[in-house]
Amino acid sequence: MVMKMSPLIGKVHCPPISEVKRWGTERPDDGQEVIDLCQAVPDYAPAEEMTDHLSRLLSDPLMSKYSPDEGLTEVRDTICDYYDRKYGAHLSPENICLTIGASQAFWLAIVTLCRAGDEVVVQAPYYFDHPMALDILGIRSAYAPFVESDSGIPNPVTIENLITDRTRAILVVSPSNPTGTITPPATILKLYDVARSHNIALILDETYNEFIPAGIRPHKLFSNPTWGDHFIQIASFGKTYALTGYRAGMLVASEQFIHQALKAQDTMAVCQPRITQHAIKFGIENLADWVAKNRDMMTRRHDLFRSEFVKPGNRFRLVASGAFFAWVRHPFTGCSGRKIAKLLVDEAALLCLPGEVFGSGLEGYLRLAFGNIREDAIPEAIRRFRKMSE
């Protein structure tokens, strides 16, 4: 007899990146180099001065010890200084819990806010890990539909109309994963007002906030003295400092919310690794120019990809794009995104994600990521899309 597992987790789809990566390894070698537009991970290494700094710390026995659940005070103090510059925010260390990546920060926020049977309004197309987590926890997702003409920017009126007496939060990702679209600050403020008027939370995932061109301030929510009453931020330094494997996430919320979330933190992860915390601290204090340089590089990649992709002769249509991502409509009517993504792997050695993993009814789309493709490879990638259009 086989042991029983949760029926909720049995209904959740497998991680789509793993599936597409497997397609890439299984394709016959036809001489084409595989171009990876699948996973949003920087292709460049962490700054050499950071890795040199961390290597010197590894011999310290303290690096192998636990830290406080919420993270070292000196690291959180440094983050508060950074948020003052980045957002004009006046945070205290008690507003911060360092986490094992942004994904764990999201779980921490949700288990503190919700119980099974509650609801979260989720803007589509969504980052697939979010509804996977909600489904596993028995929390219903109410999806705000993707509107192509608006490039997927959330509509506060549409979102408000989805709120019920069981709704606990509104969830938005900006810059968006998967579209790259940046939600305007005025729209974010309206979403906060909707959350406040219904006494629920606005959860804003800002994993890609350092890739907004020119480093523009993403929003002004932190300037409201009562921001913590209805605002929860999911953040990450993993993409910022090319530390994705270090799992450098963060939850930012009111002191009261963090106090309660730490109960779950202690049972879930205890603490973020010390070496990751020291990497964050070093990055904030020393790598602002390095971050800006990589932001500019990613902006160039995006601009080049966009300018080449929209030239005549490409039947794949660019619908939205921005920091790290492009959202593309494929030209094959009646075919699922999964079928087209598999065809692109098999015939063009291109890895990308099918639209339906980002929301129901999005089978006509594909997500492309710029993290793994250097500027000199972009023309070849687009040539392959054009060839598939013939």
* CA neighbor of 274 nearest in space, from 18, 60, 117: 60
pLDDT digits (tens, 9 = 90+) for 136-170: 999 999 999 999 999 999 999 999 999 999 999 99
| pLDDT at residue 94 in the model | 98
Q: What stretch of H or E contains 16?
A: helix 16-26
Question: Taking the domains of the chain in order of start, what are their residue ranges?
Answer: 7-45+290-389, 62-287
In whole angstroms, give the CA distance from residue 5 to residue 254.
36
* CATH C-level class of 62-287: alpha beta
> Whole-structure pTM over 0.85, yes or no?
yes
Rounded (10°) angle between helices 378-389 and 288-309: 30
Residue 96, helix vs strand vs coil: strand
pLDDT tens digits, the chain, 390 residues: what are they? 778 888 888 888 788 888 888 988 888 888 888 999 988 888 899 999 999 999 999 999 999 999 999 999 999 999 999 999 999 999 999 999 999 999 999 999 999 999 999 999 999 999 999 999 999 999 999 999 999 999 999 999 999 999 999 999 999 999 999 999 999 999 999 999 999 999 999 999 999 999 999 889 999 999 999 999 999 999 999 999 999 999 999 999 999 999 999 999 999 999 999 999 999 999 999 999 999 999 999 999 999 999 999 999 899 999 999 978 999 999 999 899 999 999 999 999 999 999 999 999 999 999 999 877 888 899 999 999 998 876
Give the bridge partners for 351, in sequence order: 36
| pLDDT at residue 359 in the model | 93
| Cα 335 versus chain centre, distance | 27
| pLDDT at residue 247 in the model | 96
Amino acid symbol at 331: P
pLDDT digits (tens, 9 = 90+) for 225-279: 999 999 999 999 999 999 999 999 999 999 999 999 999 999 999 999 999 999 9
Instruction: Provide the total of helices (H) and of strands (E) in the chain, helices listed first.
Output: 13, 13
Burial-class residue 234 by CB neighbours within 10 Å (0-12, 13-18, 19+).
Answer: buried
- Please count the other Cβ atoms lying within 10 Å of the Cβ belonging to residue 149: 7
Cβ atoms of residues 276 and 79 within 8 Å: no
* CA neighbor of 41 nearest in space, from 362, 265, 298: 298
| Cα 204 versus chain centre, distance | 10
Q: What stretch of H or E contains 389?
A: helix 378-389
* CA neighbor of 181 nearest in space, from 202, 201, 211: 211
Cβ atoms of residues 181 and 320 within 8 Å: yes
Does the N-terminal peptide bond of residue 125 adopt cis geometry, omega within 30 degrees of 0?
yes
| pLDDT at residue 245 in the model | 93
Residue 263: how many CA atoms within 13 Å on its side-chain side? 8
* CA neighbor of 98 nearest in space, from 130, 66, 127, 129: 66
In whole angstroms, give the CA distance from residue 339 to residue 364.
10
In whole angstroms, give the CA distance from residue 248 to residue 242.
10
- For 7-45+290-389, CATH number? 3.90.1150.10
Cβ atoms of residues 67 and 272 within 8 Å: yes
Enter the DSSP assignment of 234. Answer: E
CA dihedral for 69, 103, 101, 105, sign (positive or negative): negative
42-73 per-residue burial string, b: 16 or more CB within 10 A, e: under 16: beeebbeebeebbeeeeeeeeeeeebebbbbe
Cβ atoms of residues 162 and 195 within 8 Å: no
* CA neighbor of 120 nearest in space, from 175, 171, 46: 171
| Cα 346 versus chain centre, distance | 28
Token pair 């939600």 is found at 183
